[in-house]
Structure 1
């Protein structure tokens, strides 16, 4: 018997629903919350971004990074960190000062901060209590749960949302330049969603940001300026590409232990600008090798603001259009895509649609609705 949770996600006059999607990615820098307005149901759903808020993780950043590095922490300290992350979500979605507040969401979809993921075990840290104390909306978390219960890896999780938002008349590649790079290959819009492909490619901002911290003493290379001003050392870049390809070729989704930080040791002998330039080139080449001949390239994630990385990608696929964000009706920017994807996936889950794709995650048949749901009275 087909079931869904539509009664818990109100439909407004005109047939629209508003959902807020929340994402803290593997770069561990900020919380992105994206409000979408959607019409239609299930795979006929259409959505557009109506609001976007970004909040720096502030004092939560370093404890979260420490946890992601698998450094020791007590159970109470982890519990408090999860609670504080929940409170940050509440502050963005339901601020106490309602002047200029975002739209009231019918559904709140929370990814949580991934602190462990190796293809077999996965943990996205989040305590919903501070949030549900402040909102009357339906809340869903842990959309990977059912996939992983059915022998899938739960990742990449966004390809079906990419298909909802970004499919077009010709095939295209949706490239997320986040902490790890992942790619969704979308078929032409007249093909079924079962033809969508997706995979993790390798470390991206995980390495670029760590290199900025190590060689520049900065949290990241703003706009890729240091890389743009440096010289590329071809032999070192070639070695880095081989290392990055090896990480991406592990035959599973990427996460804990796949950051590739050891690759930065080869850059220690170079001037800082040269180190960043060489690494940027290597990261771009390792990504581009899987994009050749796959159509228009749409770049999202924080790395899409790294001009050196983007220029290197364009140079590596000279025969394909490469654009930053979506110039269509979705309203997706590099920063808003993942949050918007979570919002769409939450609505699909409420409609009874399995939100992951077997060809992407390796899951078997799903027997339950996706997610952990907190329903209003």
Structure 2
């Protein structure tokens, strides 16, 4: 289970792994469960750099998130007709409220990442062993703790005949680079949907721009695009990761000259996502022949069209063509990570996160 940068719902996937074959898995059922709107508003505000009102509020949110995840797990297995005793483990990403792998703490020297949603509460309420808190061990080992999907992508989507890239279009965009021969790499590229979603909410009262229709009404503003692209983070080399605390509406507002039409800003934000994704791919794996996309952005036709325009000669297709539902690839990936944790096997790739070595990720909370 995962709630990503956009905090637009809890994605839950019931996954069956073939015994002795960790790279072969089947999605039995996938569902997205809505957050309580008041809770979601607080989570988004915290994720964008806001402060908790008190330690009491933060502790309460930790439990509320865990309870929501546990309710999602129970609803999923009930709909699937599966008993809790049949599920080996839950893999819970939780909700990121702060991600500072470069060490932007009080003294600027202590890197950390923080996902709330107490795994002990999930285990207790669901009756299923729960692996949670996957990112911290990698950060403790000098890594970014993100992205964590490349090991899963490499296991299921690698080809010996062509260079590929798996592209997750969530709130933040990230690549897993899968060369036919060579080291797997991965990193965040910047915004995918988070800025467009926030702008659509402000101007349309809707949580996202359905199929890029709002952006299609506008025109790209070259001057605004240049100011957005001037962000130093884009020029940083991998390993790197980011989130809402970096890319949010205050960041956009600071780069507006005033008087821009909302639809033109939306079109420009869409172009920002497409350009930064394409630039990252050309810089780090220029021989890529196929991009396999997943995440909510797969449903934004406008974004996919601009990506295709930025990457001529590259086939861009959904992971659905390879048996992976694009809406639940990340949730399936956390099931895979839970399987690794239970087996005592590493879940990170140091070539991706920058960690000092392979590490078993997550804390396992037994069912009883």
Please report the TM-score for the alignment, with normalisation by the length of structure 2: 0.86
Q: Please state how far the C-alpha of 1:96 moved relative to its aligned partner.
A: 10
The alpha-carbon distance between structure 1 residues 344 and 271, as it changes in their structure 2 partners (threshold 3 A), is: same
Equivalent residue for 1:185, pick from 169, 173, 177:
177
1:49 aligns with 2:27: yes
SS in 2 for 1:215: helix
Q: CA offset at residue 102 of structure 1?
A: 5.6
Aligned residues: 346
Give the CA deviation at 1:349. Answer: 2.5
* Structure 2 residue 28 is the aligned partner of structure 1 residue 87: no
Q: Which moved more, 1:75-84 or 1:105-114?
A: 75-84
1:356 corresponds, among 332, 343, 348, to 348
2:12–2:331 CA contact under 8 A, matched in 1: yes
Give deviations 1:226-259, integer Å, cap 9, x for gaps.
112222223332332333xx32333432136321
1:318 to 302, 312, 317: 312
Partner of 2:40: 61
> Residues of 2 paired with 1:320 and 1:186: CA distance?
14
Is 2:234 the counterpart of 1:248? yes
Change (3 A) 1:131 1:101: farther
Residue 109 (structure 1) aligned to one of 70, 87, 91: 91
1:269 is the counterpart of 2:263: no
Partner Cα distance (1:86, 1:92) in 2: 10
Structure 1 gap segments, 5+ residues each:
1-21
Which whole-Å CA distance do the structure 2 matches of 1:343 and 1:159 have between them?
Answer: 14
Which SS does the other structure have where 2:321 is aligned?
coil
The yes-or-no answer on 1:288 pairing with 2:268 is no
2-side partners of 1:341 and 1:254: how far apart?
19
CA 1:94/1:163 → structure 2, altered by over 3 Å: closer, same or farther? same
Q: How large is the RMSD of aligned CA atoms in angstroms?
A: 2.3
Q: What 5-or-longer segments of structure 2 have no aligned partner?
A: 102-110
Alignment counterpart, residue 308 of structure 1, candidates 302, 307, 314: 302
Q: 2:233 & 2:248 partners in 1: Cα distance?
A: 7
SS at match of 2:30: strand
Question: Are 1:165 and 2:156 counterparts?
Answer: yes
Does the alignment pair 1:121 with 2:112? Answer: yes
Partner SS, residue 347 of structure 2: coil
What are the Cα deviations for residues 121-171 of structure 1, in whole angstroms up to 9, with x where unaligned? 110001234422333322111122322222222111110011122223422
Q: Quote the offset at 1:346 in angstroms.
A: 1.5
Deviation at 1:202, TM superposition (A): 0.9
C-alpha contact (below 8 Å) 2:164/2:177 kept by paired residues: yes
How far the C-alpha of 1:298 sits from its partner, in A, is 1.3
Residue 372 of structure 1 pairs with residue 363 of structure 2:
yes
| Structure-2 change in CA distance of 1:28 and 1:376 (3 Å) | closer
Change (3 A) 1:41 1:117: farther
SS of the counterpart of 2:46? helix
3-state SS in 2 of match to 1:84: helix
Asked whether the equivalents of residues 180 and 205 of structure 1 are also in contact (C-alpha less than 8 Å), the reply is yes
The alpha-carbon deviation at position 295 of structure 1 amounts to: 2.0
RCO higher in 1 or 2 (8 Å CA, sep ≥ 6)? 1
Task: Identify which of 205, 209, 234 aligns with 2:197.
Answer: 209
| Cα distance in 1 for residues equivalent to 2:6 and 2:174 | 13
In the TM superposition, what is the alpha-carbon distance from 1:97 to its structure 2 partner? 9.9
Residues 97/304 of structure 1: CA separation in 2 closer, same or farther (3 Å cut): closer
